Structure 1
């Protein structure tokens, strides 16, 4: 009995297209990449690609949204499993740099290319804001001493910025991610050490210096 070609579910096909788009955008850059090249990489026709994503801009935006969401979900999961401020922070920073190291194409597209394009920068800024909030909560919830939320937000913002900066070196394999993670975490605690806490916050939590 003759059998036809098995139909790939739409959701799976969409993810395959995004995977191909990430590779092509990372290799050629947003402006040089073409829908033809992406369709070839995905082994589909260009009309089918346009059926799912109406333009290169729409496709790129979908890539940024998916990869940003994956990064946030990954770090949120890691943060939820940490114990103690320093250990939790170390875990999140290490997980972030591990993600960059293992998904360099994603990092290239989301944080290097999208951040440089005004039409996509809002999504990058939103992701950065979520990471700052996550880091601020992590510092606040795991600290035995109560510190001003505004101060923690400043430290978290600096930490996220430092993480992004060293992530480029990790992506280029110019700095081992373990070294980069240690430097970023050390900078965070040095930033807090010069500011006195106000009142005890969480008696059962470890202090930031632990």
Structure 2
């Protein structure tokens, strides 16, 4: 009796296995130190097969960036509550963001640490995705200003700056949350939950935005408001 032939793995599934192995290897080794031999070994395939499917190390890294970027944007978009108030939409989006980066820390490490530090074309691909997120947050801040009746008081440039600052803070906080461990009730070490991390972000950002919506601005001598509640020292 002849030997039973092993079932052929579909190309799409095999490629995902290779990308999974690449994410793990790039995140732990770094782009420069990662080798195609190790990626092939982790994926359980031969190195020639990796080259056949994904051409080169550069192409493989680009494929990883695209897949992880698309997954992150999809997670944030799916988490946002449509029709909710601007702060609720931001809150739900942040929860989706922190939940995804916590569930896929290696993918986040590749996007936030590896891809952004190795120049073109990798940094450009990440920048495109980041611009999408910034544009989304800009819309939310603009909507919040409109809800508060002060849309004309927050200049377009200021809204864009606030959005960039918020996204940068969220990126930094995600890195911190994935490394930080807290002691739980049982004495075990555990990472902060996505909900807690999102609450930290909202307390940091939205409290300040709330004061802006009320017409308050910071000045060297203190806060100044529309009603002159706090006078700033001039000069």
Common fold: TM-score over 0.5: yes
Taking the aligned partners of 2:173 and 2:66, their CA distance within structure 1 comes to 23
Number of aligned positions between the proteins = 198
Q: 1:176 aligns with which of 176, 188, 192?
A: 192
Q: Equivalent residue for 1:103?
A: 104
Taking the aligned partners of 2:150 and 2:78, their CA distance within structure 1 comes to 24
Gaps of 5+ in 1: 199-210
Q: What TM-score do you get using the length of structure 2 for normalisation? A: 0.76
Q: Equivalent residue for 1:128?
A: 130
Q: Relative contact order: is structure 1 or structure 2 higher (C-alpha 8 Å, sep ≥ 6)?
A: 1
Distance change (3 Å), C-alpha of 1:82 and 1:56 = farther
Q: CA RMSD in A?
A: 2.2
Q: Equivalent residue for 2:118?
A: 117
Q: What TM-score do you get using the length of structure 1 for normalisation? A: 0.85
> Per-residue displacement from partner, 1:120-160 (whole Å, max 9, x unpaired)?
11111111111101112233346523524433222211110
Structure with the greater alpha carbon radius of gyration: 2
Gaps of 5+ in 2: 182-190, 216-235
Q: Equivalent residue for 2:87?
A: 86
More helix by share: 1
Residue 140 of structure 1 contacts residue 146 of structure 1 at CA under 8 Å; is this kept in 2?
A: no
Q: 1:166 aligns with which of 163, 173, 198?
A: 173
Distance change (3 Å), C-alpha of 1:80 and 1:193 = closer
Runs of 4+ with >6 A deviation: none
Taking the aligned partners of 2:94 and 2:83, their CA distance within structure 1 comes to 12
* The 10-residue stretch of structure 1 (141-150 or 59-68) with the greater mean CA deviation from structure 2: 141-150
Residue 100 of structure 1 contacts residue 170 of structure 1 at CA under 8 Å; is this kept in 2?
A: no
